Amino acid sequence: MVVIGRERPESTYRRLKELVVNYKFRPQEPLSPVSIADRLRVSATPVREALARLHGEDLVSLVANRGFFAKTLDLKEMRDHYELALQISIHAINDTSIDRKALKVLSNINRCERVAYSVFRSEFIENLHLGIAALTGNGVMLQSIRKFNDQTHFVRSIHLEADENFNEIVEDMSTLVSALERCDVTAAITNLRRQRDKKLAQMSDLVREGLARCSESFQTEWSSECQLSETGV
């Protein structure tokens, strides 16, 4: 008999979101609230709430009268996400009312957090993306980049496994921040477009590798993950 722990909807949401953004379910796998609740050792109610939130964030699919399903890693969708992020970043850089406080925060992330995030490479890069979007103080744009980070987290993590890839992106981002600090908009936008082009050139291989990984059995990892108490997450 499964012992159900005290329900913490936000904790259940965070744990399930981590599994979803890292594609720990097979493509199009049914996401049964009861089955997931059993593995997470919570009741089905917070799981249903979490799945509804994740569907609202376009991280899981919902089919009428059938329920929730894991999404499939899709090449065109990944390309589209990067194109949208580029346009938002260009707008943020082109805005004549750049928030100088936000630029200082971005500079601090770039200069001070590289070592702290050396183990959490994706999070470091994602914080830089958020820092760029924050330059205009536009909350809607910032939310769009948060969504972009979630949608592309898996392929980003795969790409950053290689030291040379991480170091190259950090160098590109450092060059970008330097251009912003000296108000060289042309150089900053050129840098963003170059970064986008390099990532899109690699996207087919990244998606192919991602599909291979998420098509494997994650039963062992699932079991290990779900044995954790919520206080340990």
User: 200: which 2 tokens?
Assistant: 């899109």
**Is CATH 2.60.40.1940 correct for 75-213?**
no
What average pLDDT does range 179-208 have in this prediction? 94
Domains 9-72 and 75-213 fall in the same CATH topology: no
pLDDT digits (tens, 9 = 90+) for 152-164: 999 999 999 998 9
Task: Assess whether pLDDT exceeds 60 at residue 89.
Answer: yes
Q: How many beta carbons lie within 10 A of that of residue 178, not counting itself?
A: 15
Which residues are CB-contacts of 107 (< 8 A; sequence separation ≥ 6)? Answer: 177, 181
Q: Which pLDDT does position 79 carry in this prediction?
A: 97
Structure token digits, residue 86: 């580029």
Q: Which candidate, 55, 56, 180, 160, places its Cα nearest to that of 114?
A: 160
Level-2 CATH architecture, domain 9-72: Orthogonal Bundle (1.10)
Q: What are the extents of the domains in the chain?
A: 9-72, 75-213
pTM as predicted: 0.83
Mean pLDDT confidence for 147-156 = 96
pLDDT band at 196 (very low <50, low <70, confident <90, very high): very high
